[in-house]
Chains A and B, each alone.
Chain A
Amino acid sequence: MLVYIVRRFAGMMIVMLLVAMVVFVIARVVPGDPAAVMLGSSATPDDIAALRSRLGLDEPLLTQFLLYLGQIVRFDLGESIFLNRPVVQALAERSELTGLLTMMSVGIAMLIGVPIGILSAAKRGGLIDQAAVGLAMLAASIPSFWIGLTLIKYLAVDHAWFPVAGYGPPEADLMERMRHLVLPAIALGIPNSALILRFTRTSMLDVMSNDYVRTARAKGLPPLVVVLKHALRNAMIPILTVIGLTTAVMIAGAIVTETVFGLPGVGNLIVSAVLRRDYPVIQGALLVVSAIYVLINLTVDLLYAVVDPRVRY
Chain B
Amino acid sequence: MTGITRRLFNTALGSAVAVGGLSTGISAGILGTWTTPAQAQQGGASVVTVATIGEPPTLDPVGTTSDLVSIITQHMFETLFTFDGDWKLAPLVASALPQVSADGKTYTIPLRSGVTFHDGSTVTAEDVVASLDHWTKASPRGKTVAPLVESIAAKGADAVVIALKEPFAPLTALLAMNNGAAAIVPKSVIDGPGALKSLVGTGPYKLLEHKPDQYIRLVRHDGYASPTGTPSGYAGSRKAVIGELRFVPVPNAATRVSGVLAGQYQFADSLPAETLPRIKDAAGVKPVIVKPFGFPLMIMNTKTGVMANPKVRQAVLAALEPNDMLLAGLGDPAFVQAEGSIYAQGTPYFDAASAKPYSDHAAGKAKDLLKAAGYKGEPIRIMTSVQYEFLYKMSMVAQAQLEMAGFKVDLQVLDWATLLQRRGDDKGWDAFFTYHTFVPEPSLITVLNPSYPGWWDSPAKREALAAFNREMDPAARKAKWVALQTLFYSEVPSVKVGEFYNLAASSDKLTGYTPTPWPFFWNTDLKG
Contact = CB atoms under 8 A, between A and B. Distances in A.
Contacts of A167: 214
B30 A275 contact: no
Interface in A293-308: 303, 305-307
B12 interface: yes
B20 interface: yes
Contacts of B47: 169
Interface string B256-282: 001101111000000000000000000
Main secondary structure on A side of the interface with B? helix
A46 B146 CA distance: 14
A184 to B, nearest CB: 11
A34 B58 CA distance: 12
Interface residues of B, number: 80
A179 B20 contact: no
Nearest to B2: A309
Contacts, number: 220
A219 B447 CA distance: 87
B23 A104 contact: yes
Given A44-B451, A170-B209, A276-B57, A31 B214 contact: no
B34 A176 contact: yes
Contacts of B5: 305-306, 309
Contact of A264 (B67, B214, B263): B214
A196 to B, nearest CB: 11
Interface stretch (A4-12, A121-129, A153-161, A203-211): A153-161
B121 interface: no
A301 to B, nearest CB: 14
A22 to B, nearest CB: 20
A106 B258 contact: no
A157 B424 contact: no
Contacts of B16: 106-107, 110, 243
B420 A260 contact: no
A165 B250 contact: yes
B434 interface: yes
Nearest to B212: A83
B157 interface: no
Interface stretch (B313-321, B324-332, B411-419, B483-491): B411-419
A201 B49 CA distance: 47
A83 B195 CA distance: 13
B31 interface: yes
A39 B63 contact: yes
Given A32-B420, A36-B417, A40-B69, A260 B255 contact: yes
Interface residues of A, number: 76
B458 interface: no
Interface string A16-47: 00000000000000111110111111111111
Nearest to A176: B34
B264 A164 contact: yes
A107 B58 CA distance: 38
A307 B255 CA distance: 44
A31 B428 CA distance: 13
Interface string B431-458: 0001000000000001001011100000
A51 B249 CA distance: 25
Given A31-B421, A32-B417, A175-B30, A156 B262 contact: yes
Contact of B140 (A30, A47, A82, A152): A47
Interface string A168-188: 011100011011001001000
A41 B250 CA distance: 21
Contacts of A149: 254, 258
B180 interface: yes
B417 A160 contact: no
A275 B387 CA distance: 10
B26 A303 contact: no
A277 to B, nearest CB: 5
Contact of B420 (A37, A51, A83, A306): A37
A272 B20 contact: no
Contact of B424 (A30, A36, A108, A178): A36
A306 B20 contact: no
10 contacts: A33-B421, A37-B57, A37-B416, A90-B212, A106-B19, A164-B255, A179-B27, A262-B259, A264-B214, A309-B2
The 5 residue pairs across chains A and B that have the minimum distance between CB atoms: A107-B20, A32-B417, A264-B213, A104-B23, A36-B420
